[in-house]
Amino acid sequence: MKYVNKFSCVLMIILTAYFYGQNPCLAQENDEDAVRAVFLKFQKGIEQGNVDTGPQLTTKLFSSAFIPFYNRLAEVYSKAKITFPVEINHLKILEDGRVKVETRITYGKNLFVFTLKKEGGVWKFCHFENILFPIYSIPPTPYEDTYEIPHKKRGFMMAELNLARKCYTYETIKKMSNEKKAGDFFLDGPGYKVAMDTWLPFIEGAAQFALFFAIQENNFYGADYIVTKADYDQAEVICRPLIELDVLKRSSHYPKFTNEQYIKLFKAIMDQRAQYCDCEVDIIFDDINCTINIHRKSEIVDIFRHKKKVN
């Protein structure tokens, strides 16, 4: 009897495999249903504030990025006792077995594209991104009218790419030599001075330094830096936020600067640029925002002399 039972089980497995092999659409539907079930578990876990759910939803390699993200959402939505909105717009099972899912989550309808893959036979999150080129099928060729990335998004992408390279280069040089040489690699004062005089030739002094910095960053990275004061002797630039600090906070890559490492490096870069431009800078940080005060060197000397005369 036990051999009959074993034979029945084997036969059932063979028939099931054959059935799904002959019906790939049904197998795909089952995978899609399983993926949607993962999103439902994700949603309910956040609403209930269940911190045990987060680790169950992610692959081991992605857990360091996913779990803090999940826990932040769970804390906010469970405390407020409100529904966590999850809207699935596009779902596709790729040829390599992974799944891409375009979603809008939170009440702000924030775009997130999640990637899932099977780990131990279970669908789990292995990546997420909030930048998307919205092309869902191969377009007709010749493809000339290419998708135009919005200015702000393009700027953030370039800043993220440059920061990731900067982090990698810094860590590589640090391992090969030391931390000082890693930081010195990014000092560009002489070249910055040449570029500033070449591209902004009719402005001088502190105003030239402030305007050049703001024009470059706003155009390259889609930043919103505002020059609030500008004359020959003094200038001020308000960065809300400082684009690379914002990227550092929002992006996931390895290796990655700490906030302290980045601020130290940024100050060193700006100090040397100012030195070659006959200026000095004072940078005041407030979380990811900063205010850059610029003084012409001779103006600093004049202020010091004036104070001595008054005293």
* Domain with 77 in it: 19-129
Phi, psi of 247 (to 5 degrees): -60, -45
**Of 95, 129, 163, the domain-final residue:** 129
Q: State whether 285 and 159 are in the same domain.
A: yes
Domain assignment present for residue 137? The answer is no
pLDDT tens column, 35-77? 999 999 999 999 999 999 999 999 999 999 999 999 999 999 9
Query: Does residue 141 belong to any structural domain of this protein?
Result: no
Shared-domain flag, residues 116 and 222? no
Q: Do 113 and 258 sit in the same domain of this protein?
A: no
Q: Which CATH number goes with the domain that contains 63?
A: 3.10.450.50
Which tokens go with 99?
A: 């799944």
213's CB contacts (< 8 A; 6+ apart) are 225, 237, 292
Say if residue 140's pLDDT is above 90: yes
Same domain for 116 and 195?
no
Residues 176 and 286 in one domain: yes
- Contact of 292 with 280, CB cutoff 8 Å: no
Tokens 């939803």 sit at which residue? 57
- Residue 7 resides in a domain: no
Tell me, yes or no, whether 1 lies in a domain.
Answer: no
Mean pLDDT across the chain = 90
pLDDT band at 15 (very low <50, low <70, confident <90, very high): very low
Could you tell me the pTM of the whole model?
0.77
> Is there a single domain that holds both residue 160 and residue 301?
yes
The CATH number of the domain holding residue 244 is 3.30.1380
Domain total in the chain: 2
